Structure 1
Amino acid sequence: MSPDSKKLFNVLILGISFMFIFTAFQTCGNIAQTVITNLNSTDFHGSGYTSMSVIYGVFSASNLISPSVVALVGPQLSMFISGIFYSLYIAVFIQPSTWSFYTASVFIGIAAAVLWTAQGNCLTINSDENTIGRNSGVFWALLQSSLFFGNLYIYFAWQGKTYISEGDRRTVFIALTVISLVGTVLFFLIRKQEDTKAPGEEDSTNEIHGDSSSARNKLMRAVDAFKRSIKLSFTKEILLLSVTTAYTGLELTFFSGVYGTCIGAVNRFGSEEKSLIGLSGIFIGVGEILGGGIFGLLSKKSRFGRNPIVMLGIIVHFIAFYLIFVNMPSNAPVAPMEGTDDIAYMIPSKEVAIFCSFLLGLGDSCFNTQLLSILGFLYSEDSAPAFAIFKFVQSICAAVAYFYSNYFLLQWQLLIMVVVGFFGTITFFAVEWKAAALLARSSDYSSI
């Protein structure tokens, strides 16, 4: 296998592994609040929104140390261990208790920081300036196909249900736990790149200095990764991209947790209200896959860089936000177990609701594929710290959004995303113009 084929193979395995893990986790997040609402009449007293807020809050703080962990352990083993914790979190729902639910939320927050930092590092290692756009799109399409498979099951299994029984819950979460474990094991299929050292160099060094020298070198790399993360955080480009990243955190919260809850709370959807949560997730996934695939395949052929794709993303999202505003009741995100009979500016339409799901997924893929691409291009030598900062900002904003989702009506959540999305698009443009200037000095810009 040629080096280029080997790198593409690794990207494919990386995407497939994430597809399995996030088939389980994103389906879990999509249905968590609905499932928990049906548990709150028992001894369990928890909130899916609060759990996600804890996850993303811990996730954010843990990104400060995740580059050091990846430098110390290596990306492959880092992703495997993190995948185990994802599986444990999902397994908690099989027999939930309040203490285990929130404890698992803390641990998966730490694991998520390590997982995504290692993913960014692995993607960059297996890409160059000519393939980073393609590889980002391929990875994103595979990752987001996770939204399709798990939610397809939810749509058919929960058809006609207005209450989620204990048997329904256990069947779903046992299956999701197994799926997550399969994805975790697949990380071992990723092939390591050839060592750049001369043959025997590492062995001879270890023979002279012993294992303690190797341990010190790993520790020095870990400390150095932490220092680079702090230094990189205050560069102009990272600060500008942080506004764009903040927007992706807010809209991630909305489409992955809040919007499905809104659909499931609308009583005017009748007996389909719970199964529509799964259908919504499927169409979010269709939008994500379509966007990731198209933008990955066309990235090298674009003469205009990443800005038109980001512009498309914000326009698509603004259309979705307007339609959601007129279609969904304002109290849908915080409705009680019995749901809401309110209406907004039109009689709630299932077709409009599902179309908005597709738009949310398509717009999200526009932003995330281009953020992955520009970070991989600008920080090819500092990929782990750069992706750690990206996830730090994204996760802290997601944590804040999950927290206020417990209290804010729908229109205020939409307004926050509109304002942050507008400014995030402008700041991305500024960084992309600089990236274009850098590339123009070394090669034709159309090679992106």
Structure 2
Amino acid sequence: MKKDKELQTLLLIDHSENNKNSIPKNYKSNIIILGLSFCILFSAFSPTQILQTTINQNLGYYTLAVLYSSLSISNFLSPFIVSKFGEKLSLIIGTLSYSIYIGSNIYVTSPSLYISSILVGFGGAILWNAQGSLVIKYSTESTIGANTGLFFALFQTDQIIGNLGSATLINKAGLSNKILFTIFLGISLIPIIGFFYLSNPNKIKKIIEPINNQDDETKGNDEKEYNENEKKEIDNLSIKNILMSIIILFKDKPIQLLIPSLLYSGISQTFFFGVFSSLIGVEWVGYVMSVFGFFDALASFILGKLSDKIGRKVLVFISTISCIFGTILIYLINQPKIVTTTTIYINDEYRILFYFIGAALLGFSDAGFNTQLYSLLGVIYPTSGETAIGVFKFVQSIATATAFFYGPYATLFDNIIILDSLVILSCILFMFADNFSSLQTISINEFTV
């Protein structure tokens, strides 16, 4: 390519019926491998994260805040890594960072926890960016909802396996924290095997159209073939412009409308795994959070299927109601006056029962927002997977980090008011953002070479 040549590169995915058949059938198996690998990894990481605020208390809150702060900053860099090294190698790099973090809990010191939190923040950004990019590339507009639901259904079973496993190891086997986290460390390395078996998705067809007016003969050539050097040059330019693409994407109307949803997605994680889990106690937290995971996984599969049939708006509305009812229930059973005046709440068994119900409602809500957000981003930005997921994880992790910082100082009432106010706003604006899914959205990058 010559200097002074200005092009607009349109990266298009043909979602027509003819093109759907070009997507290999084994891509479904790749979604399964990806989901199971994430399930295994987070079966080790999730209980490690949940136990932070229980075992290490304020130190746990602060290190998790550092973790998600690092994650938010790293989301500007992760698209470079994923584009440069590819999704498979990026998944491996991200997995190793999680293993380092889990290993730092074997012998706990403040410096090691803070350093490993920074590392897993960087690695987590790479891991999730690669995951989102692969799910989008493995899907078409008609399958993105089902594939997203399938991934999260498999992934969220980590809450069942990890929490039941940790509860059993702590309560039944009586293992020390050192042995527990050593076991988690070994488990966290297993997904690397699965990542090696993932297929590389089909390369997206590139259609180059000059920005200036051309004669009819030039316009007729919609598809042009380039030699290997020219292809590499285009790819390198894409990598150099990813950061600018992320910044530009924030100006896009659908992203602006989805920002409250992305913020809610981040703050809710802090509530689920920091605030809510700390209320239950070490002996019950594993069992209650496994119910959360069960309903999260089950709802992910069901809602992923339904989103392609009845639409995302209805499902997000139901998820919003589920979150509100769940948080109100949790607030009521933690009121001292109710505990002392209402006989049903005096019995700890009944109180735990309501924790299980609250966990089920919150798990359903989490599944609804996760599947529908991924589905909508995949439909609106089918060719900008790395960029869209980078924006998603950047906003989400900033919200999570902020919530972990104020977590030790906020009351349960404060946390619930913030969460419920945000989920209502998210639901309303999601309805408007979903209207853009009916439009044909094209990723446009302008280069001056």
Task: Give the TM interval when normalised to the shorter protein.
Answer: 0.7 to 0.9
- Gap regions ≥5 residues in structure 1: 38-45, 265-273, 331-341, 441-448
Aligned to 2:253: 236
1:343 is displaced (CA, Å) by 6.8
Paired residues of 1:156 and 1:275 also in contact (CA < 8 A): no
Change (3 A) 1:72 1:344: farther
Length-normalised TM-score, structure 2: 0.83
1:221 is displaced (CA, Å) by 2.3
1:157 is displaced (CA, Å) by 2.8
2:379 partner letter:
F
1:54 is displaced (CA, Å) by 0.6
CA distance in 1, matches of 2:260, 2:61: 23
Aligned to 2:285: 277
CA distance in 1, matches of 2:125, 2:202: 27
CA distance in 1, matches of 2:328, 2:204: 53
CA distance in 1, matches of 2:356, 2:187: 26
2:265 partner letter:
T
1:3 is displaced (CA, Å) by 4.0
1:426 partner letter:
I
1:34 is displaced (CA, Å) by 1.7
1:392 partner letter:
F
CA distance in 2, matches of 1:103, 1:329: 38
Q: Which residue of 62, 78, 82 corresponds with 1:66?
A: 78
Q: Give the secondary structure class of the aligned counterpart of 2:171.
A: coil
Aligned to 1:41: none
CA distance in 2, matches of 1:284, 1:386: 28
Paired residues of 1:19 and 1:144 also in contact (CA < 8 A): yes
CA distance in 2, matches of 1:196, 1:377: 15
CA distance in 1, matches of 2:425, 2:150: 28
1:71 partner letter:
S
Aligned to 2:395: 393
Length-normalised TM-score, structure 1: 0.83
Number of equivalenced pairs = 397
Q: Which residue of 32, 38, 49 corresponds with 1:18?
A: 38
Matches within 5 A, 1:325-344: 325-329=331-335
CA deviation profile, 1:300-321 (whole Å, cap 9, x unmatched): 332xx10111011110111111
Aligned to 2:420: 418
2:408 partner letter:
N
Ranges of 4+ aligned residues in structure 1 off by more than 6 Å: 342-345
1:370 is displaced (CA, Å) by 0.1
Change (3 A) 1:126 1:236: same
Aligned to 2:272: 255
CA deviation profile, 1:365-404 (whole Å, cap 9, x unmatched): 0111000000000000111111110111111001011111
Aligned to 2:243: 226
1:141 partner letter:
A
Identity percentage of aligned residues: 31
CA distance in 2, matches of 1:372, 1:229: 17
Matches within 5 A, 1:22-101: 22-37=42-57, 47-101=59-113
1:98 is displaced (CA, Å) by 1.1
Aligned to 2:210: none
- What do you get for the CA RMSD once the two structures are aligned? 2.5
Q: Which residue of 297, 300, 322 corresponds with 2:328?
A: 322
1:6 is displaced (CA, Å) by 1.8
Aligned to 1:299: 307
1:327 partner letter:
I
CA distance in 2, matches of 1:172, 1:85: 19
CA deviation profile, 1:334-359 (whole Å, cap 9, x unmatched): xxxxxxxx879854611001111111
Paired residues of 2:380 and 2:436 also in contact (CA < 8 A): no
CA distance in 1, matches of 2:291, 2:384: 35
CA distance in 1, matches of 2:237, 2:359: 46
Q: Give the secondary structure class of the aligned counterpart of 2:133.
A: helix
Q: Are 1:8 and 2:28 matched, yes or no?
A: yes
Q: Which moved more, 1:274-283 or 1:125-134?
A: 274-283
Paired residues of 1:326 and 1:344 also in contact (CA < 8 A): no
Paired residues of 2:266 and 2:399 also in contact (CA < 8 A): yes
Q: Give the secondary structure class of the aligned counterpart of 2:26.
A: helix
2:255 partner letter:
I
Q: Which residue of 180, 183, 190 corresponds with 1:175?
A: 183
